[in-house]
Structure 1
């Protein structure tokens, strides 16, 4: 029988991972906006809605980056 061993909670690179996620999401927004030039009105509306959700995600990522930065400074206690 195989026992599942819990993984160590390594948060040391969370800030960097979150920053990458912000950067990737910003790039996706830019690509989507470029696509809008060749899209129908219906597609444009969908892209705009998706980009709004992406912007909300970015805000959440940034809040999490702040939290992780504080936790890192405090030694993750």
Structure 2
């Protein structure tokens, strides 16, 4: 029988991963804003709403980064 051991919870690079996620989300916002120039009214509204959710995600990521950084100390 093939028994697998669970991997230990390695949180050592969580801050870096979260920072990368923040950067990717910022890039997505910028690309979406650039595409708005060529978008119609409804598309524009959807992009604005999605970017607002992205900004909320960034705030949550940054809070989690703070928590992780404090946990690593």
TM-score (norm 1): 0.92
Find runs of 4+ consecutive structure 1 residues off by over 4 angstroms.
none
- Number of paired residues? 73
Tell me the secondary structure at the aligned position of residue 5 of structure 1. Answer: coil
Map Cα deviations across residues 29-75 of structure 1 (whole Å, 9 max, x no partner). Answer: 000000000000000000000001100100110000000000011xx
Instruction: Tell me what 1:54 maps to.
Output: 54
- Structure 1 unaligned segments of length 5 or more: list them: none
TM-score (norm 2): 0.96
